[in-house]
Amino acid sequence: GVQALLQDELGREIPYVHCFNHQLHLVIVHVMSAERAIEDLFSVCNALYKFTRKPTVAAIYKGNTLKRLLEQRWTGHLATVEVILKSFQEILEVL
């Protein structure tokens, strides 16, 4: 990445510093992983995402599309929780 390019160009070690958004993300990941209820919530969200992606389930599921949870992108976590809240009845029907 950029760090390697700078090191090559300058011929010396360049310390890696995360951007502010990445630093904030690392803090959020650490705090959330310490709270068991939040970890369980996202585990259920991930299981629902995988379940609704199965072709046989996807054919009958009428709710909004759940987003895949990616550790690097917290917007997917928020979007998935919002879809689950909006499509709760439809999710129950396919379970």
Give 22-68 pLDDT, tens digit per residue: 788 778 878 877 889 988 998 999 999 999 999 999 999 999 998 88
Locate 79 and state its tokens.
């979007």
- The predicted pLDDT at position 44 comes to 93
- On whether both 49 and 74 belong to a single domain, the answer is yes
- On whether both 30 and 40 belong to a single domain, the answer is no
- On whether both 30 and 52 belong to a single domain, the answer is no
- Burial label for 41, CB within 10 Å (0-12, 13-18, 19+), is middle
What is the extent of the structural domain holding 85? 36-95
Mean pLDDT to the nearest integer, 4-9: 90
For the entire predicted model, the pTM comes to 0.68
